Structure formats: C-alpha cells, structure tokens
Structure 1
Amino acid sequence: MNRSRERLLSLDALRGFTIIGMIVVNSPGSWGHVYAPLLHAPWHGVTVTDMVFPFFLFFVGVSIALAYVGKSQRKAERRSAYGKILWRVVKIFALGVFLNLWPQFNFEEVRVVGVLQRIAIVFGVCAILFLNTSWRQQFCLGAGVLLAYWGLLQWVPVPLDEVNRGALESGIVERALGASQAVSVEAASEGALAPNLEPGTNLQAWLDRKFVPGSMWERTWDPEGVLSTLPAVGTGIFGMLVGAMILGIGDPYRRVSWLFFVGVVTVLAGEVWSWVFPLNKNLWSSSFVLFSGGWSTLCLAACLLLVDIQRHRGWAQVGVIFGSNPVVAYALSGMLTLFFYASTSYWPSLSKRFMDGAIGLGMSGELASLLYALLYVGVLFLPVYWLWKRRIFVKL
C-alpha cells in the first residue's frame, strides 16, 4: 500500500459523526429541555458537547497530513498549493460569516468570528506549517504555543476597560442573552486587573473587545475570538502529528497500538495540567487541547482498528456519508433553521409543535428535545446522501 496516498475510511466516518454531533447539540427541540451532557460547560469543566469542535479540528490536522505529504516533499507542488490553501481559507471563512448573517443580514450586528472561521484559520495555518516544517518542528512549535498561551493568561495583567472596571466594582460580568455571572477579580495596578481565568475579564476577553469587529457571541467576548485561536491551531498541529504517525508506521496493528498509547498519555497529561490550568473550552485552554486531542486519538485508533483493519464497516456508513460533504451538512443545518425553528404569532414553529405534541403524549422534555434533534439530522441526511450516491463532493 502506498501509505502517502491511502484513504482512511475511519477518518471519513469520524469526521461525519463529528458533524452529526455538532448538529445534534446545536439543534434541540427546545433549549429549555436539554440533557446536561448535550450542553456546554458554563465555564471550567468539560462535557461531551465541549469535545465536538476540537475533535473536528483534530481531524482537520490529520487530513492535512494525509493529503499534503507528497506536496511537502516536492518544491514545485508545494508552491502551487499555497494559492489553493489561501483560496480555501477565504471561502470557508466567508461561508461562516454568511451563516452568521443568515437570514436577517443585519450587517451592523454581524459576528465576524465563529466556528467555520476558526476552522478556516486553523486549516490555513496548519497546512502552511505542514508544507514547510518537519514533524519535530511542528511538535516544538505546538508545545511552544500551548506553553506561551498558558503563560499569557496566567501571568500577564489585563488592562482596564469599561467591562473590567465594572467587574472590579460589582463582581459581575454580562454574558449572552442578558445573563450575568459573578467573577472574582482584583486590581494588579491602577490601570490593570491581576491575571485571571474568569469569564469576560481575562486577557483573551480583553483582546476580543479590542480587536474583534462586530458583535460577539458572549456580548463582551467570544469563544472563537483572537487569542484562543492560537491553542486551537495547537489542536490542528496535534492532528498533523498523529497523521504523521499514521503515515510513518507501516504495520496496521503496531500503528493502532501506538495511537492508543499516545491517546492515553495525552489524556492523562491534559488532566494533570488542568490542576493548574483548568479544562475550559471557552478559553481553549492548553490542558483542554491535550485532553481533547488525547480522546480524539483514542477514538481514531479504535475506528482504525474496527473499520480499516477488521473491516466492520456497516455501522460507519452514516458517518462516511456525512463526512463526504461535511461543510454542506453543517451549512444546511444552519440555513434550514429558518424553516424548522421560525415562528409567528399565528403559526408556531415546527420545533414547538413537535415538543408540545411529544410532551402531551407523556414523553419527557429532554427526550423529546433530543428526538427532534435526531429527526433534524435525518432531514439533513437526505441531501448529503443524494450527493454521496452521485459521487458529488463539495469542496470549499
């Protein structure tokens, strides 16, 4: 087998199941009735939902290693790849902004950053790095980014602005949907807060307010903001290193064994680091990078064993179909909310009618909400299945 050109069905399946996970957690029947694991952790801590996005960025890194390994070794192909990478970054970023505008297209309140925008940046940075560095250099760079990010948040004072002054006086910061949260902060000097990991008052939040244009997800900061994109690139680098391991180990069972070993060690390392730098998806903390990357590696190892080596492929087919057109599935999941969640004073939304009917039949609100999300996944399965059957793969 030419390992530089092999295609892993397990990777397609996991990418697809990750997209399904994104849709499920973003599309409940009612936000008032959601099982706790399907909600993000309010701040420190990790739920299953918090792991979905880093899983996808990890698989972006693995895919880069598998797709660009030949180009990295041939100078002419490497040069020709730069333009394609940049154009792909622009298209994915633009789609993310478009989905944030949909359907009102209120440009005054546009959210410039977001999930697809972060995917675009991580892909672009990691692809350029892969074409120009060795795996050892990528390892050193990734470790340096995680350590530097930890140092910035733990030891750099946060300049005072209106939000930080208000938090210092009242102990309260505003979050999305008019919610507020108590914070514990103290002054480091007349013009700065002491370094902290509190929501809205940390260094990342201050940089978001200073440099992110338009509106932000949490009003005064954004979980996909400026500084936290650095460790998100670290997640992509982690995936590239695992991809390099897949390419470099010929024996399939030895490859899987090493992936299991790396996954376990990295999960434990992330857990230990969390004692001083808590697991936090909003901050994309360095410990969160290792913890989520370790679990991503373990899932990939298990899927490699089951799907690519032992060829138990029936259960993976749904994931493969979604994973063949992941951007289409994700974009449609955002756009079709206009029809499945919109309501008027005369016409309640489909989601509300479903929830009212299911609860009226005696179903719990949480179960009804999850069932609606799964039905929504089923609706989105139809167009991606149609594309897959016709071997149409939309690549941005």
Structure 2
Amino acid sequence: MNDLTPTAVPSRLTSLDAMRGFTIAAMILVNYPGNGEFIFEPLEHAAWNGLTPTDLIFPFFLFIVGVSIVLAFTKAVEQNTPKNGLYKKIIFRSLKLFGVGLFLTLLPHFHFSELRVTGVLQRIAIVFMVCSFLFLNASFRTLVWIGAVTLVTYWLAMYLIPTPGQGKVMLAPGYNLAAWVDSKLLPGRMWQGTWDPEGILSTFPAIVTGIGGLLAGHLLMSKRTPYEKVILLLVCGFVAVVIGYVWHLAFPVNKNLWSSSFVMVTGGLAALVLGTSYYLVDIRGYTRGTWPGIVFGANAIAVYFTSDVISYLFYLVPFGGAPLNEHFFLALTHVAVAPKIASVLYALLFVCINFVTAYILYRKKIFIKL
C-alpha cells in the first residue's frame, strides 16, 4: 500500500477536466435531437440489454465524480482537516444537487402530483455523498472489497430472489426485483410508469461506478511515476472490460438495471479513456482540442441544468405555430437533408448554444459549484 500513499500531485488534471466537459456535451447531444423519431442508433440508449455509445455517458460522469472526489479531498486529508466540517460540506452539496434535480423534474408546469423523485442529478448527488464519505474513511483495499461485494450481492439478489407476484426470477422491463422494490418504496412518479432506471436497488451498483473513479483517483495521486499510472489505468481498464463481458453471460450488460456487468464494462472503458487522455494531454502535452471540453467542464452541472431549462424554449414554446426544433428540422428536410442528419445537426446546434453559456461563465471566471 505504500505506493498508493498520496503525494504532491496537482489537484486539477487537464485530461480529467476535458473528459468531464466532453461527457456533459455528449449528454446534451443525445438528450436533445431535432426530432425524437429520427435518431442514429449510436445516439440512442440500448432498448434493454446491450450497450451503445450513449449508454457510456452517465457511468463515465459518475466515474469522473469519483476521481474528482480524490483530487478535491486529498489535501484536506493530508492536513488532518476535521472530518465533521467536511461532512457538512458534502451533505450540503449533495442536498443542493438533489434539490436541483427535483426542480428539473417539476419543470415546466410544477405539478407536484407528477413529481419524479429520481433522476440524473439525484443519482449524482447520492453517488457523490456516499463516495465522499467512503474516501474519507476507507482505504484503497477496503474500497475494492466494498465494490466487489456490492456487485456480487446485487447480482445474486437479482438472480436468486424471485420477483414477488411472479413466482420466478425475472429480468424483464418492469418485471424484476428492482422494479418491484421501486413500486413498493419509491415515492412519486416513475420514469417508465412501472419502473425507473434511476431506482433504489440500481443505485447501489451505480455507487460502485463512483468507487471505480475513487480507485483511479487514488492511483493518479499515488507516488508511482506518470507512466506507471498510465499502464495501470490501461491494464486495469482492459481487465475490467473483459470481466464485465464474461459476467454478461450470466448477468447481461444493462444500463436500466445498472447491472454488475454494466458497471465493470463501462468503468473499464472509462479507465481506458482516462488513461489514454492522461498520457496524451498531461504527460505528452497534446492539449489541442481540449479547450471546448475544459470550458464545458468548468461548469459541468450548471451547464447541464441550463440546457434542461432552455430546452423548453426550443421544444415547447411555439414560434409561428411550431417550436424552434420543428422549424429547424423541417427546414433541413425540405431541402433534401436526410431526417436523421437533420436531427443530429439540430442537436449539435443545441450543444453550441449551450457552449455559449459555458464560455461566458468561463470567460468571466465564474465557476458554479452546485
């Protein structure tokens, strides 16, 4: 464990900042097409089992949250900062994130009877809080054990406990143990009526995605040489992907269930991307092309929030009888642009619009930490 003792490493990594920003940009890209009926398959989530590039976005962000926790709190730990003060900051930030997530679910009509308690920001808030507490109290080895036990326990529960009311083990949409738990314990509306992809049980393996980021952060802050860090990130990432796809044979890769195999595959891919980025950007100094990601990443959650808010202006408010997205989509298709291309061009335009907001904040050195 001596080689994982924290050392004097910069608390910010250009590669990580850029990776965070490009992940948020990708999240906006897939969330706001010009027309929801015309989307290229890689820009859609897998219907159930399986994996598309879009399915990587959320776990990548949770992985980055884990890495960022290590970079943010390592100095405080080294200086023996009282944990009670850190706990208060962690809880306060988590509550802010959760509250903002609830606010977004109420937009635009604020019908509290339709409140969805779960959501992207809500899950980020929970993962941030739990992983922060774990980092402040658990060793590297303990984190590995917690992650492994959680994934195995989740797998066994989903595969050995029959779905109540069905009399047998099921993994179908709306007919599985996770969906049943949500139907009994989750207040408010569920995203798909009978089940929710950010439900209660699936949050536990999602926390392990954050733990994967903690482990990567420990490695980056260790005394190992930069090249050793890259090699370990790449090797561990590759091994995790292999384990995940082997596990897929028994517990399919599934984002909606956040299956154990999904955690391993996406966490491994995130480690591969981070290792490659760290080598190219922070070690070799190839920073060309990272600037848009850095701008987005400087206010990642704030940009995600504003993109959701302003989307109502583009998708719901009629201008000349139709929302702006329909005008754009129809204008392109009328000049013989293929519908799927027109739809993705609009999504790219919407990303650029949100980049303007991110750039203004970045230029004025305003960094909103929700």
TM-score (norm 1): 0.90
Instruction: Determine the structure 2 residue equivalent to 1:183.
Output: none
What amino acid maps onto 1:308 in structure 2? D
Instruction: Determine the structure 1 residue equivalent to 2:3.
Output: none
CA deviations over 1:153-203 (Å, ceiling 9, x no partner) = 00012222xxxxxxxxxxxxxxxxxxxxxxxxxx4xxxxx21121110100
Instruction: Determine the structure 2 residue equivalent to 1:110.
Output: 115
Q: How does 1:267-346 map to 2 (within 5 A)?
A: 267-344=241-318
Instruction: Determine the structure 2 residue equivalent to 1:180.
Output: none
What amino acid maps onto 1:46 in structure 2? L
Any conservation in 2 of the 1:71–1:131 contact (CA below 8 Å)?
A: no
What amino acid maps onto 2:146 in structure 1? L
Any conservation in 2 of the 1:5–1:67 contact (CA below 8 Å)?
A: no
How far has the Cα of 1:211 moved from its partner?
A: 1.0
2:325 to 351, 354, 359: 351
CA deviations over 1:198-238 (Å, ceiling 9, x no partner) = 11010000011111111111001100000000000000001
How far has the Cα of 1:6 moved from its partner?
A: 3.3
Q: How does 1:159-308 map to 2 (within 5 A)?
A: 159-160=164-165, 187=166, 193-308=167-282
Distance 2:352 2:11 in 1: 30
Any conservation in 1 of the 2:11–2:72 contact (CA below 8 Å)?
A: no
Distance 2:40 2:30 in 1: 10
Query: Is there any run of 5+ residues in structure 1 with no aligned partner, and where?
Result: 161-186, 188-192
Distance 1:13 1:345 in 2: 36
Name which of structure 1's ranges 70-79 and 224-233 shifts more when overlaid on structure 2: 70-79
How far has the Cα of 1:77 moved from its partner?
A: 3.1
Instruction: Determine the structure 2 residue equivalent to 1:127.
Output: 132
1:30 matched to 2:44? The reply is no
Aligned length: 365
Identical-pair percentage = 45
Name which of structure 1's ranges 361-370 and 245-254 shifts more when overlaid on structure 2: 245-254
Any conservation in 1 of the 2:318–2:324 contact (CA below 8 Å)?
A: no
Distance 1:2 1:73 in 2: 9
Distance 2:285 2:259 in 1: 36
1:91 matched to 2:96? The reply is yes
- Calculate the aligned-residue CA RMSD, in Å: 1.4
Q: After TM superposition, which residue ranges in structure 1, 4 or more long, deviate above 4 angstroms? A: 343-346
Name which of structure 1's ranges 194-203 and 282-291 shifts more when overlaid on structure 2: 194-203
SS at 1:221 equivalent: coil
Any conservation in 1 of the 2:7–2:223 contact (CA below 8 Å)?
A: no
TM-score (norm 2): 0.96
SS at 1:314 equivalent: coil
How far has the Cα of 1:5 moved from its partner?
A: 4.1
CA deviations over 1:82-124 (Å, ceiling 9, x no partner) = 0000000000000000011111111000111000000000000
